[in-house]
Amino acid sequence: MNDVVNSSAGNTGTINAAGVSIKDLRKSYGSNEVLKGISLDVAPGEVVCLIGPSGSGKSTLLRCVNLLEQPNEGAIHVGGFEATHPDVDIDKMRRTVGMVFQQFNLFPHLDAKRNCTIAQTKVLKRSQEEADKVAQHNLERVGLGHLSDRFPDQLSGGQQQRVAIARALSMDPELMLFDEPTSALDPETVGDVLSVMRNLAKEGMTMLVVTHEMGFAREVADRVVFMDGGVVVEEGVAEQVISAPTQARTKEFLRRVLDPTHIEIEE
């Protein structure tokens, strides 16, 4: 696949990046506490990767940021919004937060362009003409300008995920959340999606990324946060956390992820 991005140009303007501040966040499902007091700050324009074993709570944390999950305790600030305030305008806040899902969640009854325009026209009240222009721009930005009339089931997984990114970008978000964006992809299409994300990071977007792609985290992330059992075990500069972790659990996790064929002989 060589229809990949090469655009370094920004969106309709420059990105107006927002920061995130999370304090003592707790989330339980029944008696099962998934997040046990998480605090995390992301500066505007910063790229933070959340890594950790499955069930560690990293996806739940991400979904709390745009309130797809309702936290039980703690505070979240996103840009100018206090997400955890009882009177927060959820819909208004979500317009500033783009979300990319593991399963893409494109709207199958709409073509790529309409996927990118429907929220623009219905939520931002842009004219169809303006929305089309923004959609086309963002589809080109992810290298798919020529496939704007394709329906989701006519696109490969990697292409669908890039349309999903274009759909989120069409709302001019100030923050992008990525929930394991490459985990459902065929290996050969992973690179296209990661390079779109890399460009986005270069353009100065604030990004919070749940991922298992250690190469991407090392290269693109400013910081890496390792979570396990609902707590932040270790965080720091990407290179340091991945290459020289200080905590035993981080070391163990990274050893398994980076060298899955390694067999340990128990004594």
User: Could you list the residues that contact other proteins (CB under 8 A)?
Assistant: 66, 68, 91-92, 94-95, 97-99, 101, 103, 105-109, 118-119, 122-124, 153, 164, 167-168, 171
Integer Cα distance of 204 and 46 in angstroms? 7
Kindly state the smallest distance separating residue 210's Cβ from other proteins, in Å. 15
CB closer to other proteins out of 34 and 232: 34
CA end-to-end span of the chain, whole Å?
47
CB closer to other proteins out of 98 and 158: 98
CA distances from 170 to 143, 166, 208 (A): 14, 6, 18
CB closer to other proteins out of 77 and 223: 77
Kindly state the smallest distance separating residue 236's Cβ from other proteins, in Å. 29
Kindly state the smallest distance separating residue 157's Cβ from other proteins, in Å. 11
- Residue that has been written with the tokens 């349309």 in this structure: 163
Tokens read off for 150:
């394709």
CB closer to other proteins out of 52 and 152: 152
> Any residues with CB less than 8 A from the CB of 189 and at least 6 apart, and which?
1, 156, 157, 158, 159, 161
51: β partners: 226
Q: Are 100 and 165 in contact (CB under 8 A)?
A: yes
CB closer to other proteins out of 108 and 215: 108
| Residue from 196, 204, 201 nearest 218 by CA | 201
CB closer to other proteins out of 88 and 257: 88
CB closer to other proteins out of 17 and 65: 65
Integer Cα distance of 205 and 16 in angstroms? 8
| Residue from 48, 98, 47, 31 nearest 232 by CA | 48
DSSP-based three-state secondary structure for 73 = strand
> Phi, psi at residue 141, to the nearest 5°?
-60, -30
Residue 196 backbone zone (phi > 0: left; psi -120 to 50: alpha; other: beta): alpha
Residue 211 is which amino acid?
A: T
Kindly state the smallest distance separating residue 100's Cβ from other proteins, in Å. 9
CB closer to other proteins out of 84 and 250: 84
Kindly state the smallest distance separating residue 221's Cβ from other proteins, in Å. 22
